[in-house]
Structure 1
Amino acid sequence: MTQAPARPAADRRRHDREIVALAVPAFGALVAEPLFVLADSAIVGHLGTAQLAGLGVASALLTTAVSVFVFLAYATTAAVARRVGAGDLQAAIRQGMDGVWLALLLGAAVIVAVLPTAPALVDLFGASHTAAPYATTYLRISALGIPAMLVVLAATGVLRGLQDTRTPLYVAVGGFVANAVLNVGLVYGAGLGIAGSAWGTVIAQCAMAAVYLVVVVRGARRHGASLRPDAAGIRACAQAGVPLLVRTLSLRAILMIATAVAARLGDADIAAHQIILSLWSLLAFALDAIAIAGQAIIGRFLGAGDTAGARDVCRRMVQWGAVVGVVLGLLVVVSRPAFLPLFTSDATVKHTALPALLLVALSQPVCGIVYVLDGVLMGAGDGPYLAGAMILTLAVFTPAALLVPVFGGGLTALWAAMALMMTVRMLTLWIRTRSGRWLVTGATR
């Protein structure tokens, strides 16, 4: 009798240690990724306003292109983790190699599409006539690194599925340092200007991909997994990624609609919106790190056929998401007097941003639960449901956002619509996890 409560407590401590061990390095790797753009901006910014504007347009295009293929990491993590749970490391590595081959094929297709259409894409994003040549130059050179960027996504998914988030952290930090050094040397030392920045980033990305490939190839040889492309495996990997692609595109559509509505509200509103959106994205990194841990752990439990363990860790991770969300919300409230002046000295912009900032703070516990449950269902390979739920969320958010300019409320009303969007996501994800239909066991789903 005295030992009965000890096991749940021991399980919670074990889950906590595993969540922290996976989430903390994952957070570091996530934060390191946007530092590439920041480093490029800081270096190119000293070349001139036109060059910096060109970099901004090209970076937006590249970020959009890569974010569309983030399913390479998510789907690979879940698939590899399932096979790890089933005790078949050879099949886990083989699954990961299918993801890497798919990344290379998609990257090659993107190069073929981007190189001839770069000027039109730059023009579509509204680059000025002075910034457009720089944007085109940067985009065409950087496109050559897209296969490497996609390989990094797929290989990161492999390692996460193998319950290793430390190696992606080390590679991300090393890539950031190499990118900064190469950019300075090529932009100023070699006098290549914005082209030097693009080449520096491409070289750093290729080096990161090479490191990942060395790690994955060593694992394949150690466990006797084939390195050759397998058409059936690549096709299965692509099919598993389609629902997650739909989910990602729906989420991107929500963010684009929000920005478009903010732009219609006026200059102060769009400026304040960009500040709030930047903060929202930063907070998302912390919450996404827990979701990544969820993908890896849930996939492993289901691969091992342990539905009770999957339920337990899901419950514990929801608690983590809610608590971290509360902490982040409090940090936003406490830091708001210092945060807004970092971005603007315009009193109107600060006044416009403050109510929206408080809404972001209040919604963080909901965001924490959303990210965790999203990661749990990704780890379970429940992509079709995630796609449908996100389409439903988009259908609810779109009219709510588009009615803001009609009925008023300004940026505060727009971010209330964003909070509504996260609430709808939470409800759809909570209903699914409560149903238990995601608890499909086995090495494959």
Structure 2
Amino acid sequence: MTQAPARTRTVRRRHDREIVALAVPAFGALVAEPLFVLADSAIVGHLGTAQLAGLGIASALLTTAVSVFVFLAYATTAAVSRRVGAGDLQAAIRQGMDGIWLALLLGAAVIAVVLPTAPSLVELFGASDTAAPYATTYLRISALGIPAMLVVLASTGVLRGLQNTRTPLYVAVAGFIANAVLNVALVYGAGLGIAGSAWGTVIAQCGMAAVYLWVVIRGARRHGASLRPDPAGIRASAQAGMPLLVRTLSLRAILMIATAVAARLGDADIAAHQIVLSLWSLLAFALDAIAIAGQAIIGRYLGADDAQGAREACRRMVEWGVAVGVVLGLLVVLSRPAFLPLFTGDSTVKDAALPALVIVAVSQPICGVVYVLDGVLMGAGDGPYLAWAMLLTLAVFIPAALLVPKLGGGLTALWGAMTLMMAMRLVTLWLRTRSGRWVVTGATR
């Protein structure tokens, strides 16, 4: 009678150690990434309002372009971790190299599109006549760093799949420091203005990509993995990533629709929405760190033909997701009085944001489970289901969001629709997890 509880405690402690070892460094790396834009904004902001406005437009375009290809990290993590679980490190690194080659090809394609169309893209975003030249300059120069940014995504996926989240943390921190130093030196020291900021970021990104490639190539040589491009492997990586691309685009569409609806509610509501969305995105980093751990751990268990271990890890990570969600929700409630004055002194904006923040707080346990199960299914290579589930969620969210202004609902109602969206994701992910259809063992799915 005592052996079963003792085994359960032992299994839980093992899973806890694995989750913490992977999630904590992953969280640090995730937080370091947006600091690039923050540093650029702080440095360029002193050049003038037009330059800062141009940076804001160009950064939005670049962030969107790169976030669309985040599947390079997710799909690579799942594929590599399965091979690791199967004990075939040579094949694991070979699989990772296919993802890196795909990243380089996609990066080259993006450059070919962005360079000639930069002025049109900036105009599409509604840049003013004074801000447009700066936005175009920054966008064209920064586009040269997109292949490096995509290589960083794919290489991060390789290392996560190898159960290594510490190296991405160290590279992200070093990249942030290098970016800040280079920006100051080129913007002010060399007098290059906003162009200096763009070049500083490109150089930092290329440096990060070089470090990642050095780590992966060293591992490939150690285990005898080929570094040459394999057309069949690259096609397989692209096919595995396509469903996750659909999932990402659907999620981006939800966020864009929510912002568009908030804009129709009025200036105070869109300002409050931006504050709430910023906090919601920050909270997502903490939850996404657990999801990243889930991708790596679940893939490894399934690759090792350990279906029971995968199910046990899934259950434990769900418990982590709920617990972290509850803690984050409480922090939001307690920090509201101090949080809002950091962004605005307008009482109207505060009044609009306060109830929306309560909804965000209450929804965090739901978000915790959603992120965890999303990571579990990604780690299992269940991309096609994730794509269809997100499309269904988008179909439910669109009418709910569009009804908000028609029914006279304010920002609180809009964030109610956002919570409905997360609840819909929870239902679809939970049903899939309960079905057990994601538990497909072996080195490949």
Q: How would you bin the TM-score normalised by the shorter chain?
A: over 0.9
State the Cα deviation string for residues 284-305 of structure 1 (Å, max 9, x = none).
0000000000000000000001
Residue in 2 that maps onto 1:390? 390
Match of 2:69 in 1: 69
Match of 1:282 in 2: 282
Match of 1:266 in 2: 266
| SS of equivalent residue, structure 1 residue 204 | helix
Aligned residue number for residue 163 of structure 1:
163
Corresponding position of 2:148: 148
In structure 1, C-alpha distance between the alignment counterparts of 2:5 and 2:277, rounded to whole Å = 44
Q: How far 1:223 moved relative to its partner?
A: 0.2
The alpha carbon displacement at 1:4 in A equals 2.9
Task: Give the 5 Å matches for 1:204-283.
Answer: 204-283=204-283
Identify the residue that residue 422 of structure 1 maps to in structure 2: 422
| Residue of structure 2 equivalent to 1:348 | 348
CA distance in 2, matches of 1:64, 1:320: 30
Which TM-score applies when normalising by structure 1? 1.00
Q: Structure 1 CA distance, aligned partners of 2:125 and 2:30? A: 26
Question: Is 1:380 matched with 2:361?
Answer: no
Question: What count of residue pairs does the alignment treat as equivalent?
Answer: 445
Matched, 1:128 2:128: yes
| Alpha-carbon separation, structure 2, partners of 1:4 and 1:253 | 47
Return the offset for 1:25. 0.1
2:85 equivalent in structure 1: 85
Structure 1 Cα separation of the partners of residues 326 and 123 of structure 2:
42
1: CA distance, partners of 2:147 / 2:132: 24
Give the deviation of 1:115 after TM superposition: 0.1
Task: Tell me the CA shift for residue 338 of structure 1.
Answer: 0.3
Q: Corresponding residue for 1:39?
A: 39
Matched residue of 1:4: which SS? helix
CA–CA separation in structure 2 for the residues paired with 1:2 and 1:157: 41
Deviations along 1:294-348, whole A, 9 cap, x unmatched? 0000000000010000000000000000000000000000000000000000000
Distance in 2, Cα, partners of 1:103 & 1:146: 9
Say which is worse superposed, 74-83 or 4-13, in terms of deviation. 4-13
| Deviation (angstroms), 1:125 | 0.6
Equivalent position amino acid for 2:270 in 1: I
Partner-residue secondary structure (3-state), 2:3:
coil
Alpha-carbon distance in 1 for matches of 2:2, 2:409:
58
CA distance in 2: counterparts of 1:170 and 1:362, whole angstroms: 34
RMSD: 0.4
Partner of 1:403, secondary structure, is helix
Instruction: After TM superposition, give the deviation of residue 378 of structure 1 in Å.
Output: 0.1
Specify the code of the residue in structure 2 equivalent to 1:364. Answer: Q
2:437 maps to 1:443: no
How far off its partner does 1:409 sit? 1.7
Q: State the one-letter code of the partner of 1:384.
A: P
Question: What per-residue deviation string (whole Å, max 9, x for no partner) do you get for residues 46-101 of structure 1?
Answer: 00000000000000000000000000000000000000000000000000000000
1:302 aligns with 2:305: no
Q: Which amino acid aligns with 2:25?
A: P
TM-score with structure 2 setting the length: 1.00
Question: How far does residue 3 in structure 1 lie from its aligned partner after superposition?
Answer: 2.7
- CA deviations 1:155-207 (Å, max 9, x no partner) are 00000000000000000000000000000000000000000000000000000
- Counterpart residue identity of residue 394, structure 1: L
- Match for residue 54 of structure 1? 54
Matched, 1:411 2:392: no
Which AA in structure 1 matches 2:9? A
Any idea what the Cα deviations from partners look like across 1:30-49, whole Å, max 9, x if unmatched?
00000000000000000000
Partner of 2:29 in structure 1?
29
Deviates more, 1:253-262 or 1:4-13: 4-13
Q: Which residue of 1 aligns with 2:102?
A: 102
Query: What is the CA-CA distance between 1:2 and the residue it aligns to?
Result: 3.1
- Cα distance, 1:5 vs. partner? 1.6
Q: Distance in 1 between matches of 2:328 and 2:316?
A: 18
**CA-to-partner distance for each residue in 1:260-297, whole Å, 9 max, x for gaps?**
00000000000000000000000000000000000000
For residue 330 of structure 1, what is the amino acid of its counterpart? L
Superposed displacement of residue 408, structure 1: 1.3
Q: Provide the residue aligned with 1:336 in structure 2.
A: 336
- Per-residue CA deviation, residues 380-432 of structure 1 (Å, 9 max, x unaligned), is 00000000000000000000000001001210000000000000000000000
Q: In the alignment, residue 343 of structure 1 is paired with which amino acid?
A: F
Between the aligned partners of 1:291 and 1:193, the Cα distance in structure 2 is 39
What amino acid maps onto 2:66 in structure 1? V
Q: In the alignment, which residue of structure 1 is the partner of 2:362?
A: 362
C-alpha deviations, 1:120-151, integer Å up to 9, x for none?
00000111110000000000000000000000
Match of 1:175 in 2: 175
Taking the aligned partners of 1:4 and 1:96, their CA distance within structure 2 comes to: 39
Secondary structure of 1:226 counterpart: coil
Q: Which consecutive residues of structure 2, in runs of 5 or more, have no partner in the other structure?
A: none
Distance 1:33 1:96 in 2: 22
State the match for 1:191 in structure 2.
Answer: 191
The letter of the residue matching 2:400 is: A
Between the aligned partners of 1:129 and 1:387, the Cα distance in structure 2 is 40
